[in-house]
Amino acid sequence: MPDRGKLSDIELKIRSVMLALDMGECVALSKIPYQQYEQADGNGKKRLLKAKLEDICRLAGVSMTENLRCLMHEGDDRPSMHLYPDRFYCFACQSSLDLFDLMKHLLDERSFEKRRQMAERWLVAREDEAAVAVTYAPVVDTKSAELIAMINRYGQPADANPYCMAYLRSRGITPETARRIGLLCYENPYTNDRFLAVPCGAKHYVVRVYANRSGNADKYRNAGEITLFQAQSWNACRDETVVFVTESSLCAIVLAQMNFQSVALNGVNYKRLLDAADVIARKKLKIVMLCDNEEVGLQCGVKCAEAIRKLPSSFDFLYHHKLFSPETILTKHKDVNEAYAADPRQTEEALRKIEMFAQRREDEEYLPGCIAW
């Protein structure tokens, strides 16, 4: 797979259209009619497929009139590459790239025969299929569109996949919980990396790699904007409930498994929590942030407490971190998920104590701060 960081914007867009086609997404591309393709000889078939380059590039937003910076040579500051209906041609370095060359370049598929089969699958109408495309799905954010297409196409319930389930079990998560939360998993067919996809609201996922076979997979990625995991908890729980807030969704998942209310920030951006200040204040929810026992986690808790003090409708907020909080199994591990994987019973006990502490605090004495007793 080519290094994504080095692909130009145009290349990424073309690649994203190719991936969308490969995943059977509806794109506004009229297909080669079945009869026409069947009647052509070998070279004729290749010509028909290559002629679809223009359509693919149009979907990717490539200009048909202006020259582009060359995809093949560096430092092409006075753009010398032009798109013809069936190929890119560079006047400076004389590179010529047709559809199959681009597929090799962008998808890293070395076998011509495999590329030919892929192109056939993308571009030739089935016998019973009308050749004209009727729907249009614009390619917006290449990265997240690609991820969501990948999840839609290859995703399966995590509890139905033995490899993913082995991973989840090692994190203390049961198949029942995986099912209840709707965890999905998929394997990227190009890299064979395996991912867990945690649903965060409609059409949003946080994706984490659990088998990094290519060695290049991002550890986490967001499909869609960064959203909170289980943010519906704010509205779903009763007034004055204690809600635990964690950095990672795996932590929030094991909390849910123990029947605690939980929400994950999917990172350390506590501003997403402040966005919910009104509903939290109205329902008098008691927020306990379980910071990761690291410097970044501590900063997140301290800054969040400061920000809450300044809010017009501030709310009950405590944070837990090994530097200040009473020593329990929670202070001995990086986060709740690791503590739980090590000892679920002790972890639950420690959390029940914190929950009781948060519930009993008197409102008059309320001041956002760390958990200490």
C-beta closer to Zn ion: residue 98 or 292: 98
Cα–Cα distance, 45 to 24 (Å, whole number): 21
Least separation in angstroms between residue 8's CB and Zn ion is: 12
Rounded CA-CA distance 110/37 in Å is: 24
CB of 101 to Zn ion, least distance (A): 13
In the complex with Zn ion, which residue's Cβ is closer, 74 or 239? 74
Q: Print the binding letters for residues 94-133 with Zn ion: x by CB under 5 A, - otherwise.
A: -x--------------------------------------
CB nearer Zn ion, residue 93 or residue 274: 93
**Least Å from the CB of residue 93 to Zn ion:** 3
73 binds Zn ion (CB under 5 A): yes
Could you tell me which residues are beta bridge partners of residue 243? 261, 287
Distance of closest approach, residue 258 Cβ to Zn ion, in angstroms? 60
Q: Which stretch binds Zn ion (CB under 5 A): 92-100, 321-329, 336-344, 358-366?
A: 92-100
Piece in contact with Zn ion (CB under 5 A), picked from 4-12, 70-78, 236-244, 287-295: 70-78
Radius of gyration of the chain (CA): 26
C-alpha closest to that of 72 among 53, 51, 97: 97
Select the span of 21-29, 85-93, 132-140, 227-235 touching Zn ion (CB under 5 A).
85-93
Indicate the residue among 73 and 334 with the shorter CB distance to Zn ion.
Answer: 73
Piece in contact with Zn ion (CB under 5 A), picked from 89-97, 138-146, 171-179, 231-239:
89-97
- When binding is defined by CB under 5 A, the residue of 53, 70, 276, 354 that contacts Zn ion is 70
How far is 14 from 29, CA to CA, in rounded Å?
Answer: 13
One-letter amino acid of 180: R
What is d(CA 117, CA 355) in angstroms, rounded to the nearest whole number? Answer: 58
C-beta of 82: minimal distance to Zn ion in Å?
11
For the CB of residue 67, give the shortest distance to Zn ion in the complex, in Å: 11
Q: How far is the CB of 73 from Zn ion (least distance, A)?
A: 4
Region binding Zn ion by CB under 5 A among candidate stretches 64-72, 153-161, 215-223, 306-314: 64-72
Nearer to Zn ion, 92 or 131 (CB): 92
Binder among 93, 268, 274, 279 for Zn ion (CB under 5 A): 93
Number of residues in contact with Zn ion, rule: CB under 5 A? 7
Shortest CB 13 distance to Zn ion, Å? 19
Nearest approach in angstroms of CB 75 to Zn ion is 10
Cβ at position 97, least distance to Zn ion in Å:
10
Measured from the CB atom, is 71 or 351 closer to Zn ion? 71
Q: Is 92 or 279 the residue whose CB approaches Zn ion more closely?
A: 92
Cβ closest to Zn ion, residue 14 vs residue 245:
14
Give the footprint of Zn ion on this chain (CB under 5 A): 70, 72-73, 90, 92-93, 95
